[in-house]
């Protein structure tokens, strides 16, 4: 008789007979329940877009933070448990500042991603802790050019040209597979990202709930204003 998985999900340190860590898989389920987030590279940088999914008209949209600035040329968006994301972002900011003070230069994006993922991996290896129930899409620009990475609750990471996390990931990724181009302008990338979020949403997008940020080779991390975001949403939806 095949053993029940319940015997192996009591702690993050216990492997099942088929080599699975159920607590890590449960953390991925928390990500799938999160809001849809988008990251995609364009000709000169990276765009981050998130649907903040405002569930009540009583909520102040500005109080929902899903896009974070880590350094001058690095930002990220989170899908899953936002409280977990804040903890990881705080650590990433400290790592970036330590690198600046120690070496006198900006931290390479991949180096920062590795440090965050090493930290996430440690939370799958020791008793008394749980994996982080969040995926960060980390975007930045360094000497290698524009970069976009996705971090997994297991501590693994992957670099993408375009990626999505959260509830609408499958539909958004299918849209990117068909339509993504390397030579897009900033405006084209934002329009594609908004359309990808719309593909993963069952309802018409609420312009007040869309947040957009850009990391460019020529300028630092920048959040678009609400008016700019609304204009892009209206244009993408025709």
Classify the phi-psi angles of 53: left when phi > 0, otherwise alpha if psi is within -120 to 50, otherwise beta: left
**Beta sheet of 162-165, edge-to-edge order:** 162-165, 37-42, 45-51, 210-216, 222-223
Terminal CA-CA length for the chain: 57
Q: How far is CA 61 from CA 34, 164, 210, in A?
A: 16, 22, 9
- Choose, from 35, 37, 77, 124, the residue flagged as catalytic: 35
Active site annotation includes 35:
yes
Q: What are phi and psi of 37, to 5 degrees?
A: -120, 150
User: In angstroms, what is the C-alpha Rg of the chain?
Assistant: 18
CB atoms inside a 10 Å sphere around CB 12: 21
| Rounded distance between C-alpha atoms, residue 80 and residue 137, angstroms | 12
Write out the catalytic residue numbers: 35
């Amino acid at each position: 008789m095949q053993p029940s998985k319940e015997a192996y999900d009591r702690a993050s340190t216990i492997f099942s007979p088929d080599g699975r860590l159920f607590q890590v898989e449960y953390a991925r389920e928390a990500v799938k329940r999160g809001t849809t987030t988008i990251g995609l590279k364009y000709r000169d940088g990276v765009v981050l877009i998130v649907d903040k999914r405002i569930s009540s008209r009583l909520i102040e949209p500005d109080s929902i933070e899903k896009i974070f600035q880590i350094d001058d040329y690095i930002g990220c968006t989170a899908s899953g448990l936002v409280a977990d994301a804040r903890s990881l972002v705080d650590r990433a900011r400290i790592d970036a500042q330590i690198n600046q003070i120690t070496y006198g230069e900006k931290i390479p994006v991949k180096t920062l991603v590795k440090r965050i993922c090493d930290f996430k991996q440690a939370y799958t290896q020791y008793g008394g802790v749980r994996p982080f129930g969040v995926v960060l899409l980390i975007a930045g620009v360094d000497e290698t050019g524009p970069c976009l990475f996705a971090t997994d609750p297991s501590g693994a990471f992957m670099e993408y040209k375009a990626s999505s996390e959260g509830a609408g990931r499958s539909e958004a990724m299918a849209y990117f597979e068909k339509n993504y181009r390397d030579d897009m302008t900033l405006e084209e990338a934002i329009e594609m990202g908004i359309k990808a979020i719309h593909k993963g949403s069952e309802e018409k997008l609420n312009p007040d709930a869309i947040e957009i940020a850009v990391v460019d080779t020529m300028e630092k991390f920048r959040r678009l204003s609400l008016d700019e975001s609304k204009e892009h949403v209206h244009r993408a939806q025709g």
